[in-house]
Amino acid sequence: MRRGFRQVRPGEKVEPLSVTNLKVALKRLIEYNRRYLPAIVTALIIAILAAAFRIAGPNQLKIMADEIALGLPGAGGIDFPSIRRVALILALLYGAGGVLSFLENFIMATVSARISQRMRSGVVDKLNKLPFKYFDQVSYGDVLSRMSNDVDAIGHSLNQNLDNLIVAATMFVGSLVMMFYNSWILALVAVVSSVLGIFIMTRIMGRSQKYFIAQQEGLGSINGHIEEIYSGHQVVKAYNAGREVKATFEGMNESLYESAWKSQFLSGMMMPLMHFVGNFGYVAVSVVGAVLVVRGVISFGVIVAFMMYVRQFTQPLSQVAQSMQPLQRAAAASGRVFEFFDEEELMDESHKYRSLGEVAGDVSFVNVRFGYDKAKPIIHDFSAEFKAGQKVAIVGPTGAGKTTLVNLLMRFYEIDGGEIKIDGIPISQVPREEVHDQFGMVLQDTWLFEGSVADNIRYSKTEVSDEQIIQAAKAVGLHHFIQTLPQGYDTILDESSSLSAGQKQLITIARAMIEDAPLLILDEATSSVDTRTEQIVQRAMDRLSEGRTSFVIAHRLSTIKNADIILVMKDGDIIEQGNHEQLLAQDGFYAELYNSQFEPVA
Amino acid sequence: MRRILHYLSRKQWLMIGLIVSLIIVQVWLDLKIPELITRITALVQTPGSLVSDIWQTGAIMMLAAFGSLVSAIVIGFLAARIGARFAQRLRSLLFNQVESFSMQEINRFSTASLITRSTNDITQVLMIIVMGVQVLIKAPIMAVWAISKIYDQGREWTLVTAIGVLVVFVLVGLLILFVMPKFRRMQILTDNITRVMRENLTGLKVVRAYNAVAYQTAKFEAANEELTDTQLFTTRSMSLMMPVMSTMMGGISVVIYWIGARMIDSAAAADKLPIFSNMVVFSNYAMQVIMSFMMLSMIFIMYPRASVSASRINEVLDTEAEILDGPYRDPVPGHEGEIEFRDVGFKYPDASEYVLCQISFQAKPGETVAFIGSTGSGKSTLLNLIPRFFDASEGEVLVGGRNVKDYTHRGLLNQIGYVPQRAVLFSGTVASNIAYGDNGRADFEFDIEQALSVAQAKDFVDKMDGGVDAPIARGGTNVSGGQKQRLSIARAIARKPDIYLFDDTFSALDYQTDAKLRSELKRVTGDVTTLIVAQRIGTIMGADQIIVLDEGRIVGRGKHRELLRDCRVYQEIAASQLSEEELAA
């Protein structure tokens, strides 16, 4: 699998991106969101317009100051109508600038929220099209983080930074032009003093980068340590490891302190430095301007205008500096999201037709070969035939490949060779959905979602009536319990609801009953419940498997003794096959496994 | 929030005092600059001024600007040190506090919540303190000083500025009132959408097997839509902020000049020039004042979150561990390894039902006592009373001839090798996980090799890259569940305790490994007392004493065969696991 962008957890350092990566990421982002492009361009044009209004402001203020200066002794006296006119123009400029930039912000806010929404949907869409293979290599947390953190980072920086960048550029260029238009000497003074200040600033910021990284890493490792120790609290206590643990913690804490104050200090210097750069330019402009006024080169109003232009000129520079980091993060984030979008999907099956019809339940494996990694086959050459209604048990030690067989049967993974047939029809020739329709499934991890009991039983079969739900619940012996719940079948199941493992399992069995499929898979369905509850669950499963071909994986061998066929697996191969008595008589691996259950404590 | 400030040391308060005085200097210098412009303006507007005077004034202004920078840097330095030190202290206090907790307190908060409190919450408090120290102090000083400087000369100007500040407050106030609750809502909706997606991920097999992709997607879209709607509201509302601010600032300078023009027009000839220079200066002051208040209002936005964080931290620090040390370190001589329960009862505080009731039994060195029963029968809780993860509510738990409450924690735990149900490994190496903690014995050498071989872990550890020095990832994610459990058993073996406590440890192993491990353990540590909680009859069939628990009470005790004959609950459990022949045998 390609690993262009490494997974970055929140709080982890962001690797600096090269310009090419930034470009590629931006290009993909634009392509993906082509439909929002007109809105974004409009917003950016409005942003430039708003900035232009702000740039025009100080020039008018200059005129106003000059007019007022006429009121000083020795000058001609104030021309109020003219001042009123200028004031009105200014009010209009500021007012219109404000309205325009609000409009621009509003559009960008809307667009970025919609883009985030679309990308989140995109991630979930993609997720449901990916083969299981993908999830063997990538953790759930990773996928989740792409949907939440990464998409958030993109949305946030679109909303805050993209237009900022444009506005900053406009302000920068505009102020520069206006300054040179008013007085080239003062303009030079302003530019030189600001650039000097900013040069010093960037040098310092460059230095601080390593402390930021150190701080992020320090924070990451100490948080990791806290999480680890808190989760293992019982063990830490029981083994008297408190002293060691605390020593490690305090060591991390001390080095975090060092990097934390340094990075905090250096980043805190940004503001005062900007302030100084502003002041520096401001003073330079005032003084040089004053000299020029005294010499009669410029009017006083020019100084007033410059005081504002200097700020408008230096501010964008710091804004650009501030926007760079979030933009980099966003580029990295969109890199990760697009990497996810680019993952190879399940084969397109739109050309396949449903052709299984009413399935009786015969299943056969013909020379099946498979490996999660093609180079390392786990199932070498497996053939077997099962008749409709049979109970097939798959046993073997952990890691023997029992679940793999189920995965192949369900077409969660595609086989590398041979065929799996249902009623004689190869399952690779029909759409995946049709294969799934033939199976009911109960797994070890009882998967319930936050929703009512009824919804959990009904699941995607929305057409099923309440009456049928109750029938299913009665069949698995859950009806009475459900009625004791506060809202009966409408009780919402969430983390706070106190269902036992057995009750949860019974709900998933009821779900499989509603599914009412000719084939059934029971994968370690009773291993997470205690042995007394197991009997109840077992009884429910027996009801469920009546008249269906069932595949049972179990590690308690007592539950599968009555199976029609027992497949004994070891290291990916079926090494023995037959019913309980036959296998015991063989006195092979199965017999050994079976007898080891009852070996007493020596 | 105020209470958490008590954790600032005297030195840090002194530093804060220093910051206050430096801020005063800084404000003075910041205000000096525009004031000096007054002088320049006067010079400019007075015909015949000397250029050298202007340069001189300029030099003073530069000095002032530089002085302001220096004090700002020193302030930043102090604030950063205070903040980082404070965070370090809080983190350390919390960590030590949590370490002193028993399971009782841990459960009350939940581990996840304690982790958030020790990480995120501290960051929140830290941020507001670093910001607060600088902004919270500076803004009012700046405002009062700037206004008082000009107040006498232009009340109308002051009024305009005051209106500006008012607008800032109203706007921020409205945002806090209407938008902040939505921000909180957004957090909930974000959690919600993450939950729906996690659901889809963890149930991927079920989702696909039941062809429920469309169902699941519809659910996600609903959550997504709701989140987006809220997001639209908040970001759109927040987009009002900056335009209003910049328009207002521009507007204020226009108004100040407008008022200035009027004042100059109506003033006496001699006053005209001072008014003109004041006007230029004041428009600067007004900006500074409004900016200060804007920063201040940011604090108000941050404050509620930080305040919640602070109280969450306080809550932990105020919780006193209920399980306290006793005076003794060692067991009564001659009674090492003995365990006795005398009429022990246990219930959680505030609960009305007892989890355990009238439990009495004895275990002598070398004996194996096993506990079996269905989920919720109290068997794990019973085991937890021995290392004092919880204290018995009634009766006495004796270890080594002494009530467990009379031991120091270290002393009690030095005698015990405890293996939890869920195997816990720490990041490090195989060796560091086996030779974990200490057992109170001086010059004790952990025999890692022997522990590994008894725990049936030698084979796979030898295959790992680096053997016993092979790295173990955080949470032990690089070894399988069964391997994790075996390493966690090896850890207990390596410390050579008097007592083993196995809390449903063997269910994660397959039958063969389980049997081999137990017989090997018995061989190597013959005189150790072993208490086993188990689900499988096979695991405990050979125990010296089996105690059957049901709903917190002992409903049967004896050897396997006796129980099979006399105990109904045991018969039921056995029937579900053993074949007819085995039951009859």
Summary mean pLDDT of chain A: 82
**Interface residue of B15, B56, B253 to substitute, partner A, most A CBs within 10 Å:** B253
pLDDT in tens, A487-537: 888 888 876 666 777 788 888 888 888 888 889 888 877 766 666 677 777
- Which of B153, B392, B100 lies closest to A233 in space, CA to CA? B100
CA-CA distances (angstroms) from residue A67 to A83, A267, B254, B264, B276?
7, 43, 13, 12, 12
Nearest 10 degrees: Cα torsion A353, A356, A357, A359: -160
CB contact under 8 Å between B257 and A68, yes or no, is: yes
Report helix, strand or coil for A207: helix
Domains of chain B: 3-318 (1.20.1560.10), 326-415+504-517+528-585 (3.40.50.300), 419-496 (3.40.50.300)
How far apart are the C-alpha atoms of A171 and B446, rounded to whole Å? Answer: 70
Residue contact B92–A140, C-beta within 8 A: no
Sheet containing B356-363: give its strands across.
B356-363, B339-346, B394-399, B402-403
What the block records as the tokens of A2 is 């390609």
Top-confidence residue, B580 or B31: B31
CATH for the A363-596 domain, from 3.40.50.300, 1.25.40.10, 3.50.50.60, 3.90.650.10:
3.40.50.300
Per DSSP bridges, beta strands B545-550 and B529-533 are unpaired
Q: Domain A18-174+322-346 classified CATH 3.40.50.720?
A: no
- 3 state SS for A525-547: CCCCCCHHHHHHHHHHHHHHHCC
> Average pLDDT in the B220-232 region?
93
pLDDT at A395: 86
Cβ within 8 Å, pair B224-A447: no
pLDDT of residue A10: 37
Q: Residue A181: exposed, middle, or buried by beta-carbon count in 10 A (0-12, 13-18, 19+)?
A: exposed
Q: What is the pLDDT of residues B299-316, one digit of tens each?
A: 777 787 788 888 889 989
Q: Among the ranges A60-69, B43-52, B573-582, which has the highest mean pLDDT value?
A: A60-69
Rounded CA gap, B114 and B105, in Å?
10
Residues 6+ apart with CB under 8 A from B362: B338, B339, B340, B341
Q: Does B41 touch chain A (CB under 8 A)?
A: yes
A496 contact B CB<8A? no
Please write down the HEC assignment for all residues of A211-263: HHHHHHHHHHHHHHHHHHHHHCHHHHHHCCCHHHHHHHHHHHHHHHHHHHHHH
Which of helix, strand or coil describes residue B65? Answer: helix
Tell me if chain B has a CB within 8 Å of the CB of A114.
yes
**Looking at residue A8, what is its pLDDT?**
35
Residue B86: CB atoms within 10 Å: 22
Sheet holding A519-523, edge to edge: A439-443, A519-523, A549-553, A391-395, A565-570, A573-578
- Higher-confidence residue of B97 and A380: namely B97
Answer whether A499's CB lies under 8 Å from A485's CB.
no
> pLDDT for B344-363, tens place per residue?
999 877 666 788 889 999 99
Residue of A nearest to B495 (CA): A239
Residue pLDDT, tens place only, A317-329: 767 766 776 777 7
Closest chain A residue to B115, measured at CA = A227
- Residue A474 C-alpha from the chain's centroid: 40
pLDDT at B92 over 90: yes
If we measure between CA atoms, which residue out of A321, A332, A335, A336 comes closest to residue A15? A332
What pLDDT shows up at residue B131?
Answer: 79
Q: Tokens for A368?
A: 């099946």
A16: confidence class by pLDDT, cuts 50, 70, 90: very low
Count CB neighbours of B307 within 10 A.
16
Tell me how far apart the alpha carbons of residues B472 and B18 are, in angstroms, rounded to a whole number: 48
Residue A103 confidence (pLDDT): 93
Q: Which chain A residues are within 8 Å of B374, Cβ to Cβ?
A: 530-533
Average pLDDT over residues B48-73: 85
HEC string of B522-546? Answer: HHHCCCCEEEEECCCHHHHCCCCEE
What DSSP designation does A498 have?
Answer: -
The average pLDDT across B24-46 equals 82
Residue A33: phi, psi to the nearest 5?
Answer: -110, 35
Closest CA to B109 of B308, B315, B306: B315
For chains A and B, count residue pairs whose Cβ atoms are closer than 8 Å. Answer: 444
User: In this prediction, what percent of chain A has a pLDDT beyond 90?
Assistant: 9
Residue of A nearest to B127 (CA): A264
Tell me the β-bridge partners of A382: A368
pLDDT number for residue B154:
73
Instruction: Work out the average pLDDT over A464-475.
Output: 88
pTM over 0.90: no
Q: Are A179 and A43 within 8 A, CB to CB?
A: no
Mean pLDDT of chain B: 85
CB B556 within 8 A of CB B548: yes
CB contact under 8 A, A412 and B95: no
* Residues contacting B208, CB < 8 A, separation 6+: A128, A410, A412, A432, A436
pLDDT score, position B585 = 53
- Contact partners, residue B335, CB within 8 Å, separation at least 6: B400, B401, B402
How far, CA to CA in Å, does B119 sit from each of B43, B88, B114, B310?
58, 11, 9, 12
Nearest to B579 among A95, A561, A602 (CB): A561
Q: What mean pLDDT is predicted for residues B475-496?
A: 86
Confidence category of residue A597, pLDDT binned at 50, 70, 90: low
Task: Tell whether the model's pLDDT for residue A172 goes beyond 50.
Answer: yes
Residues carrying CATH 1.20.1560.10, chain A: 18-174+322-346
Least confident of B393-407, B430-444, B448-462: B430-444
Tell me the residue type at B468.
V
A111 has a pLDDT exceeding 90: yes
Give which of A114, A13, A21, A118 is closest to A332, Cα–Cα: A21
Q: Tell me whether B298 touches chain A (CB under 8 Å).
A: no
Residue B558 contacts A, CB cutoff 8 Å:
no
Residue B321: band (very low, low, confident or very high) from pLDDT cuts 50, 70, 90: confident
Give the per-residue pLDDT at A114.
93
d(CA B560, CA B541): 5
pLDDT tens per residue, range A216-259: 778 778 888 888 888 888 888 888 888 888 998 999 999 889 88
3-state secondary structure A272-318: HHHHHHHHHHHHHHHHHHHHHHHCCCCCHHHHHHHHHHHHHHHHHHH
Top-confidence residue, A101 or B250: A101
Nearest CA in chain B to A255: B88
CA dist A221 and A141 (Å) reads 18
CB A68 within 8 A of CB B276: yes
CA distance A548 to A438: 10
Task: State whether residue B472 is helix, strand or coil.
Answer: strand
Q: Which of B55, B63, B225, B228 to mutate to test the interface with A (most CBs of A within 10 A)?
A: B228
Q: Are A384 and A364 in contact (CB under 8 A)?
A: yes
Q: Using a CB–CB cutoff of 8 Å, tell me whether A156 touches chain B.
A: no
A89-100 pLDDT per residue, tens: 988 998 999 999
Could you say which residues from 80 to 109 on chain A have a Cβ atom under 8 Å away from some Cβ of chain B?
80, 83, 87, 90-91, 93-95, 97-99, 101-102, 105-106, 108-109
- Is 60 exceeded by the pLDDT of residue A6? no
Q: Name residues 124-163 of chain B within 8 A of A (Cβ).
A: 130, 134
Give backbone dihedrals phi and psi of A369, rounded to 5 degrees, phi first. -120, 140
pLDDT of A54: 84
